[in-house]
A and B are shown apart, each in its own frame.
Chain A
Amino acid sequence: MSSSIIYVRTYLTRILLIIGCIATLTSWYFVSPHADIVANELYNWNVNIGTFSLFVGVVTLFSRYLKDISSRKEQWEYKFLGVVLIPIWVIMGQTAGVFSDLYQKAYFNTKITLHVAILGQLMFFMISGAYRTYRIRNFRTLLFASCTLIIVVCNASWLMTPFPIADKISYWLLNNPSMAGYRAMMITGAIGAVVMGIRILLGLERGALRATEAR
């Protein structure tokens, strides 16, 4: 692709992003029918792009897997399985319908059952990890281990039944110390995202919107 096309694409995308940002922010903070129309139109675009990206995702995955299978790349066997299963699921979804009993049965008895089994194993990893890491060697590990244990114990039915206050203690801990830390992380993360967004728009970050990478 010639560098001029990349420049045009990059600047058009930047302009679109700025219009989207301004329209969304204006419709959030002010009552403006014009901003609402633009924001609504962009929401519709977003929905359509979301649908289209699903289709593109399936096609891209399929073509990439086919390439890897033909060159016998690492783990090609799993990709082969994917290449066989993707059309089967697509055809089943298109013919029987994703809301049909057949599709539901097939989906539940394969993907969901396996996924639930994997999630069930998480408890083992958590217990094994807790056994090794929650060893109180200093004040910090004491604090770390005790916070976790309090939340585990206060959410356990064997303690909540004889001591209903445990539920309230856990709720207070979640609403106060936990929320304070969580909010601090969220706010700093959001500020970071805004700064990163501005840097991307200005072409200061590496990525699709840095036109100078065409050189």
Chain B
Amino acid sequence: MAKIPELKSHHIWAFCLILYLIPVVVPVGSPFQISEITLKIYNIIENLPEGSIIVMGGSGVFAFDYEPGAAMIASIKQMAKNKLRLVGIPLGMESLQLHKYVVDTAKVMQADGGPWKYGVDYVQLPFIPGGDAALVRLLTSVQSVVTVDANGTPLENLPLMKDFRSYKDITLWICPHWGYPSIVRYVTGERGVPSVMFAHAYSYTVYAPYMMIYPDKVWMTNGFLGGAQYEKLVGFKGLGHAAVDSYTLISVAYVFFVVLGNITLLTRVKKEEEEAEAKK
């Protein structure tokens, strides 16, 4: 049996680049099903009473959190449609920028032709340093930790913040960030507020057991795929749909290269055995 040559890194690199480019040029439109958990999250938000306060908060790095952003954008559209209210609580340095990005992209503010009015339906708090300590204080008393919003407006001038004083006013906490363990620990575990994580594909594999630890209190979507599922439920094609084609192709490539690596190994072993036989 002939030996299969070892592939060099730049061959694999070129192959991956082509795979990334294919959906840009020709959208494949990969089919996907909506998972039970994504559907459950959608239904929970759908059935919240009008005016409920949802918090979007946590800490993480924007570029990582771009992936959960897909589902977050879709859920913000759903919240606006159902007249729910949203407060952004950035506990990480870049979280504020992600919050602005997802709200701007969802186009739900009145300036973008949407139904939300700033201060009434949506408030964005500034970055709150201090990690878990800040989170615990904030849950006890929001106004004891922050007194102004991200624009510098005093919180007492914002109607929404008059109804949001502590964790008791939160109906649901949504975390589109990496730092979910703090949210599960202090928001859900200690105070019983249900939480949703729009997870990255990787963080889903790490944090998925939280759903088993807190059944009917914690739910998670799975990466860009979860984002695409949520977009499908809300009824539009956004970041998730754009990414899911590359996601599908690359996951096929992953399996292909592992199989190819093993075939290469097999042919080498066979060849060495044949050479050893010939020497005898």
Interface residues of A (CB under 8 A from B): 40, 42-44, 46-51, 54, 97-99, 104, 107-108, 111-112, 115-116, 118-120, 123-124, 126-128, 130-132, 134-137, 145, 148-149, 151-153, 155-158, 160-161, 164, 167, 171, 174-175, 178-179, 182
Contact = CB atoms under 8 A, between A and B. Distances in A.
Contacts of A179: 209, 212
A1 B133 CA distance: 32
A43 B133 contact: yes
A172 B20 CA distance: 31
Interface residues of B, number: 65
Contact of A99 (B64, B124, B255): B124
Given A127-B254, A134-B262, A156-B251, A47 B128 contact: yes
Nearest to A133: B261
Contact of B208 (A123, A126, A174): A174
A15 B225 CA distance: 50
A50 B130 contact: yes
A120 B17 CA distance: 10
The dominant DSSP class at the A interface is: helix
A129 B211 CA distance: 31
Nearest to B32: A157
A102 to B, nearest CB: 12
A152 B255 contact: yes
Contacts of A182: 206, 209
A128 B35 CA distance: 30
Interface of B: 7, 9, 12-13, 16, 20, 30-33, 35-36, 61-64, 66, 96-97, 100-101, 104, 124, 126-131, 133-134, 136-137, 140, 145, 150-152, 201, 204-206, 208-209, 211-212, 222-223, 225, 244, 247-248, 250-255, 257-258, 260-262, 264-265
A137 B64 contact: no
Contacts of B137: 40, 43-44, 47
Contact of A157 (B20, B30, B254, B265): B30
Contacts of A107: 97
14 contacts: A43-B130, A43-B136, A107-B97, A112-B63, A119-B63, A127-B250, A127-B257, A130-B257, A132-B261, A148-B258, A156-B248, A156-B251, A157-B31, A158-B251
Nearest to B128: A47
B252 A158 contact: yes
A130 B16 CA distance: 13
B131 A50 contact: yes
Given A161-B33, A175-B208, A128 B9 contact: yes
B191 to A, nearest CB: 13
Contact of B265 (A137, A152, A153, A155): A137
A54 B261 CA distance: 47
Contact of A153 (B35, B129, B244, B255): B255
A123 B202 CA distance: 12
A136 B201 contact: no
Contacts of B247: 156-157
B251 A104 contact: no
A155 B251 contact: yes
Contacts of A132: 261
A104 B100 CA distance: 8
A12 B258 CA distance: 57
Nearest to B130: A47
Contacts of B126: 98-99
A149 B258 CA distance: 8
B261 A135 contact: yes
A144 to B, nearest CB: 11
